[in-house]
Chain A
Amino acid sequence: EIVLTQSPGTLSLSPGERATLSCRASQSVRSSYLAWYQQKPGQAPRLLIYGASTRATGIPDRFSGSGSGTDFTLTISRLEPEDFAVYYCQHYAGSPMYTFGQGTKLEI
């Protein structure tokens, strides 16, 4: 079973700064099955990025994803106040089966 490890656990930044979140897989995964989600308190997760680098509909272009193999990155170029949330990476392994990283909390 693939394990996704996200780092850092918590990232403290200010509005306007750049955020870089990491997701490392325990073995190589297909980029087409790697996604990122944003979750705010009391809400369901929201799909941000699929296929490792494609923004979902309606997601601002300050969000970008990159990576391949075992190392993936979510970058938020200029933080807006509404971006402070928890971010999860996720891998689809077929069968179907899903694995989530443990999350990165982005705080002010």
Chain B
Amino acid sequence: QVQLVQSGSELKKPGASVKVSCKASGHSFNVFGITWVRQAPGQGLEWVGWISAYNGDSNYAQNFQGRVSMTTDTSTTTVYMELSSLRSDDTAIYFCARSEPLIGESLIYWGQGTLVTVSS
């Protein structure tokens, strides 16, 4: 079955960068895209961006333009999200998710989440 397994928690200082990984299995990796969603403590869900595992095309939310970069490694079926110039309000759980085109691109498969804490 489809599984998305994310890397472990990170503690970073303001101004630093963080790179979170999402290893996919159980499906044809380069057929689907991967979406990243974050959730600040006690807050709702916020779309961060998307990357195609087919050709590397990406689309980022305006709030993150210039600070986020998503990449793929087809040899390890892993997707990466790097966020730079970290601020305290980037403290959040970051989820990767995969959509299903046949059901309106709804996000049917989710990783377990990675807690990123930004603190001096």
Contact = CB atoms under 8 A, between A and B. Distances in A.
B44 A102 contact: yes
B105 A92 contact: yes
Contacts of B108: 47, 50, 56
Contacts of B112: 44
Given A44-B95, A103-B44, A97 B61 contact: yes
A95 interface: yes
Given A44-B113, A56-B103, A101-B44, 6 more contacts: A45-B37, A46-B110, A56-B108, A97-B61, A98-B35, A103-B45
The 10 lowest CB-CB distance pairs between A and B, nearest first, are A44-B110, A50-B106, A35-B106, A98-B47, A50-B103, A100-B45, A92-B105, A103-B44, A96-B50, A32-B104
Interface of B: 33, 35, 37, 44-47, 50, 59, 61, 95, 97, 99, 103-108, 110-113
